Amino acid sequence: MLAAKMPKPHLLSATCRTGRRITALAFLRRLAIATPVLAGALPAALVSQSSETVHGGEILFYTGGSGERVLDLFRQHADLISVIGPQAYRTDSLGNVTGGVHPELRSIARRHGVRVMPLIVNPGFDQAVIHALLHDPAARQRAIDTMVELAVSNGFWGWQFDFENIHVSDRDAFTRFYREAANALHAVDKTISVAVVPTDGTPGETPFQRYMQDNWRNSFDVAELAAIGDFVSWMTYAQHGGVTAPGPIAGLPWVRAMLDHALAADVPPERLSLGIPVYSGWWFPGWEDGEGARVRGREIGYARARELLAAAGVEAAWVPELGVSYAFWSNRGVYEWLFLEDRRSLEAKLELLDAHPRIRGVSIWVLGAEDPEVWDVLERAFHP
């Protein structure tokens, strides 16, 4: 995180009292909770998932740290969160896994019945580290053995792979590693998922596009990963960032294209979690020793975004076709840009799910960066 094959029968849908659609399957699941006779008539796999509502209803919220503010937000909103995903572990090229989940985060999760699925990363998304790991059988086994032991001893629901900046030549090696880990975790009744930097399948034409495809966006066999593991978090954000010109973090046309590509690639919607950002992007001229003057793009939280707008004396303008607000202002004659993710932009992205009611849910990056009003949006959308 910039910071990651089954038939598709038509399902009728109804409208819930919030105005959002709910599938007939979801309706039956909800009815089964209150009607034991009907529950007995439904497959156990359907009844067991009935505690959440619209679009499968699973809300995975990531954490990038365990500061007191993040822990406090988790305490306040844990009842809305299905899975908490702390980006808490890393592995080196030898398969040595280090890190840990804050005890208080685990305690909050336990009290509220939130499943804990820590992320494991190649630190700094270092390409050399993940390449060496993927091609060393002993290192892979060492990492997997540690993941299994930690999952069992800590009561984790499972793990999410968040390995990024993988060269396209290592695509199959990554799939092999994921399969090995999935087999080991499933053997002890643990879950595995993967965060995938998305693509729409189009080849790159410019040097920048080829770089992104070869190192970030074309490095995952998403259909095979979905078949191997339990679900894929499809990270439809970082459309623009520090290495690009200013632009939306996750504009609607971009998110729609990424979503359509994943589904067209035979990823079952039940195994697809839509990655959604709640952080904003700020671009400004900067200076770095060794690099000199250059434009900087920075991920910022909603509170910082509001501070910047207030200091500049401007308001962000809504762009409906992009589903995002933006602003620009002069700072001593040089313009700075802000693309704002807030309640309104989240609502616009969730509307995309209305066309795909069987999608598992959402994976949201990152707790602490959000507009406080997004919690009301999530409540209305997933727990009407």
pLDDT in tens, 339-366: 999 999 999 999 999 999 999 999 999 9
| pLDDT score, position 1 | 55
Asked if residue 339 lies in contact with residue 372, where contact means CB atoms within 8 angstroms, the answer is: no
Peptide bond before 54: cis, by omega within 30 degrees of 0?
no
Closest CA to 83 of 103, 49, 59: 59
Inform me whether the pLDDT recorded for 30 exceeds 60. no
- In this structure, what DSSP letter does residue 31 have? H
Choose the weakest-confidence range: 44-53, 147-156, 180-189.
44-53
Overall average pLDDT of the 47-57 stretch? 45
Q: How confident is the model at residue 2 (pLDDT cuts 50, 70, 90)?
A: very low
Q: Where are the domains of the chain?
A: 54-279+346-382
**For the chain, what's the residue count?**
384
Evaluate whether 359 touches 269 at the Cβ level (below 8 Å): yes
Above 90 in pLDDT, residue 44?
no
Look at the domain 54-279+346-382 and name its fold: TIM Barrel (3.20.20)
pLDDT at 361: 97
Residue 55, pLDDT > 80, answer no
Q: What is the mean pLDDT of residues 302-316?
A: 98
* Two tokens, residue 131: 């390449």
| Mean of pLDDT values over 245-268 | 97
User: What's the first-to-final CA gap in the chain, in angstroms?
Assistant: 29
pLDDT, tens digit (0-9, with 9 covering 90-100), for 190-215: 999 999 999 998 888 999 999 999 99
Q: Give me 79's structure tokens.
A: 């009842």
Paired residues of 261 in beta bridges:
none
